[in-house]
Amino acid sequence: MKYIDGYVQINNLYLKEIPEILNGVHIKGDFDVSFNILKSLNNSPVKVDGAFKCRYNKNLKSLVGGPKEVKSLIANNCSLRDLNGIPNFSAPIYKYINTGNIDLSSNQLTSLVGLPTKVFGKLSIYNNPGLKTLNGCSEHIKGDFEALWLPITNCIGGPKYVGGDLYLYDTDINSLEGFPEEVSGNVFLGNTPLGSILFPTNGGQTSKAHALYDEIRKICKIHGDIYKTIEDVEENPEIEMDEPEYEPDDQGGYRRV
């Protein structure tokens, strides 16, 4: 098999197709064909040891024809309708930084069927307006799970384990059905029906908020805490609790004492 020992970058060239010379080649690094006008991934390398990047190809509706094996897939801001043709994902080698990520955000997906059972890095599926369920999602995500800006109402079909942060804000989630069993980071639920209970607009915390907080903690082992958005962690706002068994933590959330 022919191979290229290094990073191949052919982005921002107004390419309508991937050059035929790359068909079936093994790329021993990243392969970047982003910011072009591709309509298909025909002539792709067969294997990419690093990240396969095809983001911002607005006419690209399918992954068919792409590599058979990669370590990361960066395919955001295209027009993907489904995940037919999604490659296999090999376990990352530690000399590669930030590998194992899958970014499918800002597409036109209506289904997650095709995702691997395990993601070795971060999984981003946000801003897919037609994605109404998490059915087909990976069960084990080693990094963050970014599922914000979706019309989902629950987590049925979603991951059981998230090794980073869980981003669910700006969704229609109104139930805890399918909620992960464990999240190693923080959970973000702002601007959701559940978040309106957890974070009342008056700034205080009600018994209903406390009950929901406890219920989430009972369902899911959260190593961090529950917040509205990432800004609440970064800005470290003061949160007043109106019952003595709760107090603010040092990151702007709240915890039981």
With CA atoms as reference, report the closest residue to 133 among 150, 108, 114, 116: 150
Instruction: Tell if the pTM clears 0.85, that is, is over it.
Output: yes
With CA atoms as reference, report the closest residue to 134 among 148, 154, 149, 116: 154
Q: What is the predicted pLDDT for the residue at 56?
A: 98
Q: Hey, where are the domains in the chain?
A: 1-103, 109-257
Q: How far apart are CA 10 and CA 150, in angstroms?
A: 32
Q: What is the predicted pLDDT for the residue at 94?
A: 59
Q: How far apart are CA 230 and CA 36, in angstroms?
A: 32
Q: Which residues pair with 73 in a beta bridge?
A: 52, 102
Tell me how many degrees the CA angle 30-110-59 measures, rounded to the nearest 5. Answer: 50
Q: Which residues of the chain have pLDDT under 50?
A: 236-257
Q: How far apart are CA 78 and CA 184, in angstroms?
A: 30
Q: How far apart are CA 35 and CA 58, in angstroms?
A: 8
